[in-house]
Every structure is written in structure tokens, then in C-alpha cells.
Amino acid sequence: MTPRSRECRILVLGIGNLLWADEGFGVRCVEALQQGWRFPAEVTLMDGGTQGLYLLPYVQTAEALLVFDAVDYGDAPGTLRVITEDAVPRFMGAKKMSLHQTGFQEVLAAAALTGHLPSALTLIGVQPKELEDYGGSLSPVVHAQLPEALKIAHSWLQRWGAAGVKREVATAETLADAALALNAYETGRPDAMSAWRTGDARFLNLLWQDAEGV
């Protein structure tokens, strides 16, 4: 299915939680599109984060919707899948990794019930490897799939009559707070040992010793 007209509104949405490693894949994809390419006025790039039902008005006013997300299909880490049309809601709920997936399923269901589900719907999803690293960035195997995911996105936007033009110089502007941009985020965060991002046995032992009065 294609959008009803070349002048339709197209929403490119990245969803996920940057604080949980590969959960941030969708947001990183849309961030890279915004920084590296210019798009026609009918294309809206959005960092949807974990906003859930707050995204409903944007989905309802779009005629074509392209979503980036990390989805647990049970595939090998880093595997990309492209899901289209009626299959998208089913794959969004393949296996819950966080509350944002349930929320976005509800967004799609509500848009359908109100008669405003986009006429063209595509999900570009990646199989995550690491989700338990609080404050961590994308795992290498998932990060390596960003160029291919963007290539797929460009092919869909071109098909919908809204091809992007590569910027001569990437913009430093971001869709969210500048401190959350990929480079700033990765260079500014402490290493895993210093931050104890996945828990630390030394800390747990201290709690146990305090409880025992040692």
C-alpha cells in the first residue's frame, strides 16, 4: 500500500529508551536521519522516546508512518527485520522488553479505532543484544546496523515520494536535549565499572555486611 498522495504527511518515528543500551536503537536511527539528511516539508522526524499514548495525535495525522525500534523477535542479536502494514502491531508486541512497546501498540490500536491509522505503515526493527546496561549505549552488534537501517528507511521514503538529500555537513542540531546526542552521551558517561551500571557485588556485599553489623 502507498500513501494516498505525494503531498501526504509522513511521520518517521524513533521509539525506545536511551538509558537501556539497545533499547535506544530507534531513537538513534531517527537522530542520525535528522543530522545527516534534509527532507521535504511533509516529512516529520520525531524522537518518540517512551511517550506511549502521547504519540497518538501525531500518528493520527500521518498518512504514512515509518517506525524504528528494538524488538525481541528471538533472532540473532543485530538482526534487522522490516515489517509492513497489518503485521506491524503484532510484531510490536512480539515480546515485551519495556512499557513503551505496550504503549505504542495501544497508539496503533487507538488510531485504528478512530479511523485514522496511517494508510502506509512500516517498522524497521532490530534484535537487541544488551538491555540490562543502565546508562549504556548501543552494543557494537546493534550499532553496526544503523547504516543498513537508514538505507532501508531511505528506500521507503523514496517510494513514498519524499526522498532525503544528504547534508554536505552534518548538523549538530538534535531532536532532543543535546546532552543525549550519541557522541555527547557516549563520551560523557562513566565506564561500566565506575558507574556500576549493571550492579556491583562489592556494593551488595557492603549492604550485607552492614545488615550483619560487621
The per-residue pLDDT for range 26-55, each reduced to its tens digit, is 999 999 999 999 999 999 999 988 787 889
What's the rounded mean pLDDT across residues 160-184?
75
> 3-class SS at 115?
coil
The count of other CB atoms within 10 Å of the CB of residue 138 is 25
**pLDDT per residue as tens digits for the range 98-147:** 554 557 888 888 888 999 989 899 999 999 998 877 777 899 999 999 99
The CATH code of domain 10-212 reads 3.40.50.1450
Per-domain residue ranges of the chain: 10-212
State the cell numbers at 97: 522488553
- Tell me the whole-structure pTM to 2 decimals: 0.77
Closest CA to 45 of 69, 56, 29: 29
